């Protein structure tokens, strides 16, 4: 039976491409593996898959009695509900260490790099696995996306090196142009407020409180009209009401290199203070590009039990 390679809920480009690229690496290592996903591709990911002629992984929401590799997460909240009935063989991730545990030894490649695909390139190198051009192109896009064209504080020298090597394999000479084309596709706001909030959304357990954080990365915040912002706030209140302590949306301007905060919470002041901004209609956070590195850790600290 083929083992499954599965990214997190509300999959982003790194999550979907990691499933595809890691399944390739595992297959080359002699482990029969199939890429799957917990959802369909968002606009950015669709662009990447089209660009490099790759198919979207099959959507899977139950993993009972399956053998699994997790890519791009290690939190139970981001896994299918029946993860405990599956056997986890390995994890590739670049986030904080979550609450997934196992009964048997496994293989974890977890590094504080900007992108899971940088780590997958490292595993491929370790096992002398060759990466085909189409998968290399998608991996390159995942790195450009996660590191926001190398501008995010999460970006490391390992990400840059992997991106350069993957660009060569994929025959991409202008990384900047590819990245902008991709972020243009990502900046697509033709969707319902709910879909926009959940496009890249993660729930976290912070000191026993369920805190959902979405992020929209845009070429320019000016794309968000006052009307759209009002609708997003209203929808955020509904998202919060669905059993969450807080619902947060981070609107990132990738050219201005900063983010605006939208928040509905039982403890709004705690969140606003933790993120170093002030209560207003336009809560701007200069330099904030990374949910993982600049939003989640201060909130974790603020809500630590």
The Cα–Cα gap between 269 and 275 comes to 10
Among 2, 188, 231, 300, interactor with a second copy by CB under 8 A: 300
List, in sequence order, every residue forming a beta bridge with 88; answer none if it has no partner. 68
Per-residue x/- track, 151-180, a second copy (CB under 8 A): ---x--------------------------
Q: Report how far apart, in Å, the C-alpha atoms of 28 and of each of 57, 92, 141, 173, 206 are.
A: 18, 17, 22, 27, 39
Task: Give residues with Cβ within 8 angstroms of 161, minimum separation 6.
Answer: none
Does 30 help bind a second copy (rule: CB under 8 A)? no
Rounded to 5°, angle at Cα 15 from 297 and 289: 40
Report the SS3 class of residue 57. coil
Q: Which is nearer to a second copy, 107 or 164 (CB)?
A: 107
Scanning residues 76 to 105, which ones bind a second copy (CB under 8 A)?
88, 91, 94-105
Does 195 help bind a second copy (rule: CB under 8 A)? no
Among 112, 132, 276, 286, interactor with a second copy by CB under 8 A: 112
Does 31 help bind a second copy (rule: CB under 8 A)? no
Does 209 help bind a second copy (rule: CB under 8 A)? no
Task: Give residues with Cβ within 8 angstroms of 116, minimum separation 6.
Answer: 14, 15, 18, 71, 72, 92, 93, 94, 142, 146
Q: How many C-alpha atoms does 39 have within 13 Å on its Cβ side?
A: 20
**CB 96 to a second copy: min, Å:** 5
**CB 266 to a second copy: min, Å:** 21
Does 128 help bind a second copy (rule: CB under 8 A)? no
Does 106 help bind a second copy (rule: CB under 8 A)? yes
Does 240 help bind a second copy (rule: CB under 8 A)? no
The Cα–Cα gap between 70 and 199 comes to 20
Please check whether residue 154 is in contact with residue 217, taking contact to mean a CB–CB distance below 8 angstroms: no
**CB 294 to a second copy: min, Å:** 11
Does 66 help bind a second copy (rule: CB under 8 A)? no
The Cα–Cα gap between 60 and 65 comes to 13
Per CB under 8 A, the segment of 15-23, 212-220, 233-241, 296-304 that binds a second copy is 296-304
**CB 292 to a second copy: min, Å:** 7
- Interface residues with a second copy (CB under 8 A) are 88, 91, 94-112, 126, 154, 292-293, 296-297, 300-301, 304
């Amino acid at each position: 039976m083929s083992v499954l390679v599965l990214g997190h809920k509300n999959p982003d480009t790194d999550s979907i491409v990691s499933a595809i690229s890691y399944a390739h690496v595992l297959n080359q290592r002699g482990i029969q593996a199939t890429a799957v996903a917990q959802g369909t591709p968002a606009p950015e990911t669709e662009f990447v898959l089209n660009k490099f002629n790759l198919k979207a992984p099959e959507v899977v929401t139950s993993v009972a009695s399956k053998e699994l590799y997790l890519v791009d997460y290690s939190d139970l909240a981001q896994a299918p509900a029946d993860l405990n009935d599956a056997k986890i063989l390995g994890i590739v991730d670049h986030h904080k260490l979550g609450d997934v545990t196992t009964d048997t030894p496994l293989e974890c490649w977890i590094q504080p790099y900007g992108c899971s695909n940088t780590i997958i390139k490292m595993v491929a190198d370790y096992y002398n696995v060759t990466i085909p051009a189409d998968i290399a192109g998608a991996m390159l896009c995942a790195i450009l996306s996660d590191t926001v064209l190398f501008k995010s504080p999460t970006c490391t020298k390992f990400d840059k090196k992997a991106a350069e090597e993957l660009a060569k394999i994929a025959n991409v000479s202008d990384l900047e142009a590819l990245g902008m084309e991709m972020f243009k596709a990502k900046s697509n706001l033709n969707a319902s407020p709910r879909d926009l909030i959940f496009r890249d959304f993660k729930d976290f357990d912070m000191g026993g409180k369920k805190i959902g954080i979405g992020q929209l990365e845009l070429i320019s915040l000016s794309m968000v009209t006052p009307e759209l912002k009002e609708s997003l706030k209203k929808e955020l209140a509904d998202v919060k009401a669905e059993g969450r302590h807080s619902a947060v949306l981070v609107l990132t301007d990738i050219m201005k290199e900063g983010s605006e905060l939208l928040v509905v919470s039982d403890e709004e002041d705690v969140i606003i203070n933790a993120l170093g901004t002030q209560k207003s209609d336009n809560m701007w956070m200069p330099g904030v590009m990374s949910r993982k590195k600049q939003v989640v850790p201060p909130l974790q600290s603020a809500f630590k039990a």
